[in-house]
Structure 1
Amino acid sequence: MSYCAIDFGTSNSAIAIPEAGGGMRLVQLEGEHLTMPTAVFYCTDADDLPPGSVRGVGRDDALPRTFGRAAVAAYIEGYEGRLMRSMKSVLGTALVDQTTEVGNGMGVKYLDIITGYLRHLRGKAEQAGGAQLDRVVMGRPVFFVDEDPVRDAAAQASLEAAARAVGFTDVAFQYEPIAAAFDYEQQATTEQLVLVADIGGGTSDFSVVRVGPERAQALDRRSDILANHGVHIAGTDFDRRVSLASVMPPLGYGGFGPSLKGQAPRPVPSRVYFDLTTWHLINTVYQPQRVAELRSMADFYGDPVQHQRLMKVVNQRLGHALVGRAEAAKIAVAEGGSTDIDLSLIEAGLHSPLTGAQAEQALRDDLARIVACARETVTLAGVPAEAISALYFTGGSTGLKLLTEQLEAAFPTAQAVRGDRLASVATGLGLHAARLFQSASVSR
């Protein structure tokens, strides 16, 4: 069988291929790992390459690079280069066709970075399956872009172009939460309505789907999909909120300038802090003109130490490392605990505590919008909340207890079921790919 299914996620990705004897299986992408961080590290020092470095192909051949965990490790271990993460977030934006510098004066289009990552996934899958893969089902969020159907369609078109560029001749799409419903359906013993909550790194997507053992083999499931809805808020937004709440204040976020001539101090300009907490915008802060502008703003700070810390972050390009610290802190308090964020890379002894209560306050508005989206999805389905039999959680961000508790409270009569946070969507996409392409083969 020459087909596969790809879950190209904001934070992690996976790929499913046909299994000998029938069915689908997830490919081991890094050692025994069935998922791989959606990350690429461009290596700029040809004399000191990290393990696993490979040369790109075609338009994406600017520099050697590593992928997934190896990419993150190369960055953490201090190899010279640039780390790219959350590439999915640029789909549907003007950035997708823009060129970004990856080092040594070389530039690559964001879409070509995505293409190179997909090529790596396809190569891993072909190696594992021993066959060329020409057809693919790609997962997609309900909305790449909220409330903008034109940009949303453009986002899917860009992702399809990337898939075709790596060699797929037949490209189909399936909504990620619906794929998760197909995965849940494997354990359903009776017909029921399930609300799938697929909350990953970039989007929170919901679907109300009718599932059951008698429906599982049908190819056309459109009548079983009662509603889809989503909002562009998820894990990377949580990281940003945590960073703004606990990492950026020592650098001046929320601070004030000096009091001049008896006037009330003015707030420190905040744009740089928002950019430093957004993965795909961090490198814009390092542009020479931007650095010069920030350097000239020393007088805007009532506490000169805050400006000095900010400039160290900018000059030493520590933005991605700080977002990583925020992400780790979010995970540390996911179950309601507390942590202390180590900021000694900025200044010896510098740290910032983060408690569960502080995290809840920082995420309050985002969580409220996600819960409201879930409620609206059920309303769009035209059924009462009590008709939902199961609330199926998938996606990396469903490990956040604050979030799942609020969703469970919104649907108290539904049974909370937790799937594989990182692999449920890929598994469901694989099931859909098998039904779709096997049916197509039979019809021919």
Structure 2
Amino acid sequence: MTLPIQPAVLGIDFGTTNSVAAIAVDGVASLIPLRGPEGADPVFRSALCFWEDESGIAVEAGPWAVDEYLAYPEGSRFIQSFKTVAASSHFLHASIFDRRYRFEDLGALFLEKMMQRSGGAMEQRDRRVIVGRPVVFAGHRPDEGLARERYNAVFAGLGADISYVYEPLGAAFSFASELRNAATVLVADFGGGTSDFSIVRIEEPGRVKRCTPLSHAGVGIAGDRFDRRILDNVVLPLLGKGGQYRSFDKVLEIPSGWFAEFADWSRLAFMRNRKTLAELAKLQRSAIDPVPIERMVSIIEQELGYALYEAVGKVKRALSSAEIANFSFSGGGLSIEAEVTRADFERWIAPDLARIEEAVDLALSRAGIGTAEIDRVFLTGGSSLIPRVRHLFSERFGADRIASGNELTSIAHGLALIGSEPDLSAWAI
């Protein structure tokens, strides 16, 4: 008897900070190397860079976008973390030079460039496509229906057979491929925009149905929010946060909305438009101390968001292995050298960790099980490397139950494996 040949499967982890693709053939998944300026790598930065040339507006993505930006920052528009506005009804479009780009446009451009760097591996159309999505989208009151419509438009070019699967389930399937015993597993996926949790029952190898999802929960808090805490405490006070301005005969505090906008990587690049800059110029003229507002305007006008993002990320990563790290940033009339301690950082993110723990409680409640019934905890995503995040789980579940690895690639690998299942009904959303 000849067994039917399984169709090839493309798994895509479209992430806030990084994106990864994997291909599965006959149930065996492998990551797709994506060409970059310094060689091939499966991890592709979720970023776009726009600039004007003789033919109009040009665009690049991933590490190529970073290179283009670094070559000519003031003449570029660099955008990152744009996935976080997928479910926002308030985001209609981004004005870039003389064009307006909807989320669907940004996503499709990014995917097109990612495909071009895949050496043809992402361009085959006769296969299933499994796209990861967060359990809960980022943002205030995220619109699930709107996010689905936008995702459909972004990924339409990949073919008709497209399914969506919660991102932590992809990580669960990847973890199961290396697990040799039955276990009830809590998967905690810490991305750039959201923290997502799935509880999955994994049977021993050889079972026809090896994985059964039990529950899911999520919260729109993750790596970008942790970055924002560093900005709030180290950078924004030098850009006018807490300052005052005159309004007729009154002295008022500068509205916090300016700093919320600036500290959100998905919105910072979009502040470089005529209307916003005109409003900031007006605020600068009325400010009691106009110098901090001038610094903010300079950072926006000179397109220094990427440099600022890198400085914040460098400190956060350093604090994963050191008790003290140095924050260093220079540009736009602003020069900062500041010592940041891990104790300070952990105090800043304490409210965020409390909400993350509430989401874990919700996942356990929905599964109808307690902490003691979790056999293994699989931590994935870049922010899972933060010591306080790991301690939250080891303290609650025990260090001997914690597993991790392939933090940036496990989701895409597992999504491709899920697509190899004959019945996707238990997984697709």
Q: TM-score, normalised by structure 1?
A: 0.85
Q: Which secondary structure state, in structure 1, belongs to the residue aligned with residue 421 of structure 2?
A: helix
- Paired with 2:118 and 2:340, the residues of 1 have a C-alpha distance of 41
Q: Which secondary structure state, in structure 2, belongs to the residue aligned with residue 64 of structure 1?
A: strand
Q: Which moved more, 1:267-276 or 1:425-434?
A: 267-276
Q: Counterparts of 1:91-240 in structure 2 under 5 Å?
A: 91-94=86-89, 98-103=92-97, 105-125=98-118, 127-128=120-121, 131-144=124-137, 151-164=143-156, 166-214=157-205, 217-218=208-209, 221=211, 224-240=212-228
Q: 1:119 to 1:241 in 2, by over 3 A?
A: same
**AA in 1 matched with 2:404:** R
* Map of 2:50 onto structure 1: 42
Do 1:193 and 1:387's aligned partners in 2 also have CA atoms closer than 8 Å? yes
- Paired with 1:124 and 1:133, the residues of 2 have a C-alpha distance of 19
* Map of 2:421 onto structure 1: 435
Q: Which secondary structure state, in structure 2, belongs to the residue aligned with residue 188 of structure 1?
A: coil
Q: Which is richer in strand?
A: 2
Q: 1:389 to 1:296 in 2, by over 3 A?
A: same
Q: Which secondary structure state, in structure 2, belongs to the residue aligned with residue 254 of structure 1?
A: coil
* Map of 2:34 onto structure 1: 29
Displacement of 1:413 after TM fit?
6.9
* Map of 2:4 onto structure 1: none
Where does structure 2 lack aligned partners over 5 or more consecutive residues?
1-6
Q: Counterparts of 1:35-434 in structure 2 under 5 Å?
A: 35-46=43-54, 63-79=57-73, 80-94=75-89, 98-103=92-97, 105-125=98-118, 127-128=120-121, 131-144=124-137, 151-164=143-156, 166-214=157-205, 217-218=208-209, 221=211, 224-256=212-244, 266-298=252-284, 301-347=287-333, 349-412=335-398, 415-434=401-420
Cα RMSD (Å) of the superposition?
Answer: 2.9
Q: Which moved more, 1:276-285 or 1:26-35?
A: 276-285
- Paired with 1:256 and 1:335, the residues of 2 have a C-alpha distance of 39
**AA in 2 matched with 1:71:** A
- Paired with 1:215 and 1:203, the residues of 2 have a C-alpha distance of 33
Do 1:371 and 1:410's aligned partners in 2 also have CA atoms closer than 8 Å? no
Do 1:126 and 1:133's aligned partners in 2 also have CA atoms closer than 8 Å? no
Do 2:51 and 2:77's aligned partners in 1 also have CA atoms closer than 8 Å? yes
- Paired with 1:431 and 1:32, the residues of 2 have a C-alpha distance of 22
Do 1:336 and 1:402's aligned partners in 2 also have CA atoms closer than 8 Å? no
- Paired with 1:171 and 1:294, the residues of 2 have a C-alpha distance of 44
Q: Which has the higher contact order (CA 8 A, sep 6+)?
A: 2
- Paired with 2:335 and 2:166, the residues of 1 have a C-alpha distance of 46
Displacement of 1:203 after TM fit?
0.7
Displacement of 1:299 after TM fit?
5.9
Instruction: Give the count of matched residue pairs.
Output: 415
- Paired with 1:438 and 1:406, the residues of 2 have a C-alpha distance of 33
Do 1:272 and 1:285's aligned partners in 2 also have CA atoms closer than 8 Å? no
Do 2:379 and 2:404's aligned partners in 1 also have CA atoms closer than 8 Å? yes
Q: TM-score, normalised by structure 2?
A: 0.87
* Map of 2:18 onto structure 1: 12
Displacement of 1:432 after TM fit?
0.6
Do 2:381 and 2:408's aligned partners in 1 also have CA atoms closer than 8 Å? yes
Q: Which secondary structure state, in structure 2, belongs to the residue aligned with residue 127 of structure 1?
A: coil
Displacement of 1:2 after TM fit?
4.6
Displacement of 1:121 after TM fit?
3.2
- Paired with 2:71 and 2:220, the residues of 1 have a C-alpha distance of 32
Do 1:247 and 1:352's aligned partners in 2 also have CA atoms closer than 8 Å? no
- Paired with 1:27 and 1:333, the residues of 2 have a C-alpha distance of 31
Percent identical pairs in the alignment equals: 28
